[in-house]
């Protein structure tokens, strides 16, 4: 007992000295976000535990308690789900918090444009599934796909032969991720949508995929969200909620813009834009049907959109990270699943917190790996298609050059024919 007590004291003393060496908590937090304002990503455990939790009226729309809810490597509920004594869990929690602090201090010394810093700043627990999840029969990536996914999540250059397209593709795969000719980015989007719908149905939620009749303008133009689901069942339930899934490629303005004075998380920025985009489209469609609508008037389509509570954005980013509402949705899906009889296999002798933590990790693993490996597969397909196109262009250039030579000197054909005849 005395040795264990001494080890804990040394661990806590090392943690406090690391904080002081980095200039204190506020200095480390501000350096990571590029501003002087404190960053709640490094909120202490005491503050996180003391925060009051209230059941929101609209769970998925309510803001997270703090960004610590989806950026910390391990939260108290994760620690509670680790088998072993409370002392072991406490030591594990302190150890991971220390490692997190050391990584943030090292990342803060990198330039704000360094891809390793951008990857570390944007990555979350979804991204880390690439390194922490155990392999299974469902996720079996090739070596090429896994190497590309791991390099992207770490902010490292891609370790893959670029071929003829090498001079047109950046080292990190930003252009490949935004290439629309490979048609595999749509596959990534649909895979994420289908996984979310699958877990919604496990919780017995009423779900519709791409409903075309919920948002129709007076001229018959539809607005089609990816998912419509009934948040609460029953005769007094409100209209279905509308979810729209977005995938955010690398190198975009959402990742690099510092107009607000600090470096924001790209997936969060893209998620916030979705409700405004839906409202703007609804207003435009309404005015196509009725040009007499004034600026302050709402048309029928915009009113219908408001009745559904607006559109909710769910964004999955280049680093396999997820936006805050995805993290919120995972908790809701776990709660719904926990109410079903099929959740009995997750029961920890009646401990609901541990059962929910296990479900959350399972859902997060499925979405995180689907996103990471889907991005890698898309970039590889885009690269192969660019190489095929480049080879075709080179072949065409050779043919054009040959035609020009024949136009300038038709005797080329005769001399080549003589040469072939002589050899035969």
What pLDDT does 140 receive? 87
The residue ranking higher by pLDDT, 13 or 262, is 262
pLDDT in tens, 247-256: 999 988 898 8
pLDDT in tens, 115-132: 988 999 899 999 999 999
pLDDT band per the 50, 70, 90 thresholds, residue 52: very low
- Most confident range, picked from 9-18, 201-210, 309-318: 309-318
DSSP tag of 21: H
What pLDDT does 59 receive? 62
Q: Which parts of 141-257 are beta strand (E)?
A: 207-209, 227-229, 241-247
List residues bridging with 314 in a β-sheet.
Answer: 245
For residue 410, pLDDT beyond 80? no
340: Cβ contacts below 8 Å, ≥ 6 apart: 202, 203, 204
Q: What is the mean pLDDT of the chain?
A: 76
The residue ranking higher by pLDDT, 19 or 268, is 268
Q: What Å distances lie between residue 119 and 50, 172, 253, 333, CA to CA?
A: 30, 11, 15, 27
For residue 416, pLDDT beyond 70? no
Rounded CA-CA distance 350/5 in Å is 32
What pLDDT does 341 receive? 76
What pLDDT does 296 receive? 87
What pLDDT does 387 receive? 76
pTM score of the predicted model: 0.72
Q: Which residue in 70, 143, 130 sits closest to 366, CA to CA?
A: 130
Mean local confidence (pLDDT), 341-348: 69
- Coil, strand, or helix at residue 82? coil
For residue 82, pLDDT beyond 60? no
The residue ranking higher by pLDDT, 403 or 103, is 103
C-alpha atoms less than 13 angstroms from C-alpha of 105 in its C-beta half-sphere? 17
pLDDT in tens, 177-229: 888 766 778 899 999 999 999 999 988 778 999 999 899 988 889 999 999 99
From the centroid of its chain, how far is CA 264?
Answer: 14
pLDDT in tens, 254-280: 988 776 667 889 999 999 999 999 999
């Amino acid at each position: 007992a005395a040795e264990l007590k001494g080890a804990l004291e040394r661990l806590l003393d090392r943690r406090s000295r690391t904080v002081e060496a980095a200039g204190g908590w506020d200095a480390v937090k501000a350096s990571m976000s590029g501003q002087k304002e404190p960053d709640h990503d490094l909120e202490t455990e005491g503050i996180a535990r003391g925060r009051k939790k209230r059941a929101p009226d609209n769970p998925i729309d309510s803001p997270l308690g703090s960004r610590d809810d989806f950026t910390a490597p391990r939260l108290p509920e994760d620690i509670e789900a680790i088998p072993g004594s409370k002392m072991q869990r406490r030591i594990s929690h302190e150890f991971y918090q220390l490692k997190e602090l050391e990584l943030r201090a090292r990342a803060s010394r990198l330039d704000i444009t360094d891809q390793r810093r951008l990857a570390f700043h944007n990555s979350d627990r979804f991204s880390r599934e690439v390194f922490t999840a155990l392999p299974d029969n469902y996720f079996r990536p090739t070596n090429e796909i896994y190497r590309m996914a791991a390099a992207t999540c770490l902010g490292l250059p891609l370790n893959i032969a670029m071929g003829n397209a090498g001079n047109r593709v950046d080292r990190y795969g930003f252009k490949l991720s935004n290439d629309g000719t490979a048609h595999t980015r749509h596959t990534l989007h649909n895979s994420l949508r289908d996984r979310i719908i699958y877990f919604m149905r496990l919780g017995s939620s009423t779900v519709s995929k791409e409903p075309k009749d919920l948002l129709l303008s007076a001229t018959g133009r539809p607005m089609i969200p990816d998912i419509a689901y009934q948040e609460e069942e029953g005769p007094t339930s409100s209209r279905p909620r509308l979810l729209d899934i977005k995938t955010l490629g690398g190198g975009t303005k959402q990742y690099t813009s510092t107009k607000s004075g600090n470096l924001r998380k790209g997936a969060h920025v893209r998620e916030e834009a979705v409700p405004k985009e839906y409202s703007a489209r609804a207003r435009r469609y309404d005015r196509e049907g009725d040009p007499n609508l004034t600026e302050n008037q709402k048309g029928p389509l915009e009113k219908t959109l408001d009745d559904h509570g607006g559109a909710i954005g769910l964004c999955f980013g280049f680093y396999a990270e997820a936006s805050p509402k995805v993290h919120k949705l995972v908790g809701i899906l776990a709660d719904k699943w926990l109410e079903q009889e099929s959740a009995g296999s997750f029961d920890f002798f009646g401990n609901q917190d541990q059962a929910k933590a296990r479900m959350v990790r399972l859902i997060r693993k499925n979405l995180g790996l689907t996103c990471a490996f889907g991005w890698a597969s898309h970039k590889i397909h885009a690269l192969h298609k660019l190489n095929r196109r480049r080879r075709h262009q080179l072949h065409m250039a050779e043919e054009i050059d040959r035609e020009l030579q024949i136009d300038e000197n038709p005797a080329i054909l005769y001399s080549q024919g003589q040469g072939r005849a002589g050899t035969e």
